[in-house]
């Protein structure tokens, strides 16, 4: 498990959308003590002062549907003082904090606060279900420490498809939203899988944080306004599936400017970005000591992966270890292969008598997009070369071997610089793996079994579609 391939030395009151107070919102029973503790925190955050004694008396009286006369009789305060002085100001403040467009009063106080406390604190898109969450204890702890330090405006979680980036981010925002020590005003989850325009994304964020605000017409003005809001309100925002910068080139510039401003300008919010590739721009930020950090997510630890497989019905430890090694602890691929084993073979023994590496449809589709839209010819040739060498029994290959074989055996003239850049890009996209020799310290390259199978089968013929004439002459 690697927290980050460290490029930088030493690096390692919520306002809900308006809604009526229906029975479904008040179905969760909340005690007076819970409500009072929760409300006291909101009040303190709103005016930097906790509930006073007479305010607590009014709150408790309203909770139990007492009249002001009854409140007065059980306290040292007069009826008119509680009703005319305390209650009016308290209910006006509560209307602003928990009213959601509805006037809070003695009659509906209990319904309003129960509705507010019962609703989800996390706004925006629907989160992945993390009820079956395996492992990631150290990764979660590391991310929480990064958030707690408040040193980084942005944190990027990077990893191959299916490795669990979205699940980790969902678990992180769920945990932090329930942890009082983090003190965020808003928790927002936004999926970017549909590649929204930057203007639409910013408008949606503003509508959640400041629904009354009038959004400007121009992109840069929208970004400026959002940054101003992020200085005033401390927000924890997850931008999930941030693949826009290489999947939709038309949106590149606006999103790059947006991220650059989020990273470089002062604000008190924290943005989590999940993406499959550590973008060049992110590397630049880190190298320039900007407040951006990243976590490269690897496969599940062995114990957690075994637990996942055991729950899926694979109980033979030897078979579990085989699958974990083949699929590098990738939870999505492990789930898929166990489902396919059970559906097609009925039991694991039959499958392991005729073993093969299976590539999930989800991963295949993602790889098709990357290979077809992102990779250059030299990237494809390198992947084919490493895959074919693995079939011959050479599982890992040094850069010197690759360079010499390309020149002598493959008939390809390529500069050392171009080869280095291509290998770096493939590794950053999690398409190849690097291994350092413990003795010589030389780097060797290999392919995960699943990637190797994808390259060799190449069902759509897009890996092997390249033009030798495009390769540069060695220099």
Those residues of the chain that have pLDDT short of 70 are: 1-29, 100-101, 118-120, 244-251, 409-412, 466-475
Of 193, 157, 163, nearest to 271 (Cα)?
157
Residue whose token pair is 């989160």: 127
Asked if residue 197 lies in contact with residue 316, where contact means CB atoms within 8 angstroms, the answer is: no
Q: What is the full DSSP assignment across 6-73?
A: --STT-----PPP----GGGS-S---HHHHHHHHHHHHHHHHSS---HHHHHHHHHHHTT--HHHHHH
pLDDT in tens, 238-261: 999 887 666 666 667 788 888 888
pLDDT at 13: 29
Asked if residue 215 lies in contact with residue 149, where contact means CB atoms within 8 angstroms, the answer is: no
Q: Mapped to the 3 state alphabet, what secondary structure does 143-205 carry?
A: HHHHHHHCCCCEEEEECCCCCCHHHHHHHHHHHHHCCHHHCCCEEEEEECCCCCCHHHHHHHH
C-alpha distances (whole Å) from 402 to each of 375, 416, 419 are: 18, 10, 9
pLDDT at 29: 65
Question: CA 165, CA 276: separation in Å to the nearest integer?
Answer: 9
Tokens encoding 93: 């403040």
Q: Are strands 270-275 and 154-158 parallel, antiparallel or unpaired?
A: parallel
Tokens encoding 155: 């944190």
pLDDT at 407: 73
Question: CA 345, CA 349: separation in Å to the nearest integer?
Answer: 9
Other C-beta atoms closer than 10 Å to the C-beta of 75 total 18
pLDDT at 214: 80
pLDDT at 308: 92
Asked if residue 183 lies in contact with residue 234, where contact means CB atoms within 8 angstroms, the answer is: yes
> ∠ CA 51-52-57 to the nearest 5 degrees?
95
Question: CA 386, CA 392: separation in Å to the nearest integer?
Answer: 10
pLDDT at 246: 61
CA 437 to chain centre: 33
CA 90 to chain centre: 39
Residue whose token pair is 């290979």: 371
Asked if residue 313 lies in contact with residue 175, where contact means CB atoms within 8 angstroms, the answer is: no
- In the chain the domains, ranked by start, together with CATH numbers, are 23-118 (no CATH), 122-296 (3.40.50.300), 302-358 (no CATH), 362-470 (1.10.10.10)
- Element spanning 446, H or E: strand 443-446
Cross-strand pairs, 444: 398, 435
Question: CA 335, CA 342: separation in Å to the nearest integer?
Answer: 11
């Amino acid at each position: 498990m690697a927290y980050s391939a460290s490029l930088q030395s030493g690096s390692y009151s919520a306002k809900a959308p308006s809604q009526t107070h229906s029975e479904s919102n008040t179905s969760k029973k909340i005690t007076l003590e819970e409500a009072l503790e929760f409300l006291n925190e909101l009040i303190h955050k709103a005016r930097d002062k906790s509930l006073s004694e007479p305010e607590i008396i009014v709150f408790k009286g309203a909770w139990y549907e007492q009249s002001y006369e009854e409140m007065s009789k059980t306290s040292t305060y007069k009826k008119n003082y509680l009703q005319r002085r305390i209650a009016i100001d308290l209910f006006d403040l509560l209307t602003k904090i928990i009213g959601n467009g509805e006037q809070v009063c003695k009659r509906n106080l209990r319904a309003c606060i129960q509705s507010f406390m019962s609703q989800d604190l996390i706004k925006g898109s629907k989160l992945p279900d993390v009820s079956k969450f395996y492992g990631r204890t150290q990764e979660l702890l590391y991310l929480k420490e990064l958030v707690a330090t408040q040193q980084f405006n942005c944190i990027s979680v990077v990893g191959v498809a299916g490795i669990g980036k979205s699940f980790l981010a969902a678990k992180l925002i769920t945990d932090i939203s329930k942890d009082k020590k983090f003190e965020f005003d808003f928790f927002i989850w936004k999926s970017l899988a549909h590649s929204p325009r930057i203007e639409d994304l910013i408008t949606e964020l503003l509508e959640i944080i400041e629904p009354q605000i009038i959004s400007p017409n121009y992109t840069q003005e929208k970004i400026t306004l959002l940054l101003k809001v992020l200085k005033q309100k401390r927000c924890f925002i997850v931008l999930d599936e941030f693949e826009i910068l290489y999947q939709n080139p038309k949106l590149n510039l606006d999103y790059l400017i947006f991220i650059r401003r989020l990273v470089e300008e002062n604000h008190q919010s924290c943005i989590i970005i999940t993406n499959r590739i550590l973008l060049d721009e992110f590397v630049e930020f880190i190298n320039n000591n900007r407040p951006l950090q990243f976590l490269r997510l690897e496969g599940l630890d062995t114990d957690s992966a075994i637990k996942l497989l055991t729950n899926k019905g694979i109980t033979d430890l030897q078979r579990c270890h085989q699958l974990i090694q083949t699929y590098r602890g990738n939870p999505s691929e492990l789930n898929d292969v166990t489902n396919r084993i059970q559906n097609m073979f009925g039991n694991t023994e039959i499958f392991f008598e005729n073993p093969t590496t299976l590539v999930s449809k989800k991963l295949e589709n993602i790889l098709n997009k990357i290979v077809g839209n992102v990779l250059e010819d030299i990237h494809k040739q390198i992947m084919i070369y490493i895959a074919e060498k693995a079939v011959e029994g050479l599982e890992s290959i040094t850069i010197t071997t690759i360079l010499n074989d390309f020149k002598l055996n493959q008939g390809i003239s390529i500069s050392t610089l171009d080869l280095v850049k291509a290998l770096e890009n493939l590794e950053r996209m999690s398409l190849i793996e690097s291994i350092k020799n413990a003795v010589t310290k030389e780097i060797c390259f290999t392919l995960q079994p699943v990637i190797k199978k994808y390259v060799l089968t190449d069902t759509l013929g897009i890996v092997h579609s390249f033009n030798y004439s495009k390769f540069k002459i060695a220099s």
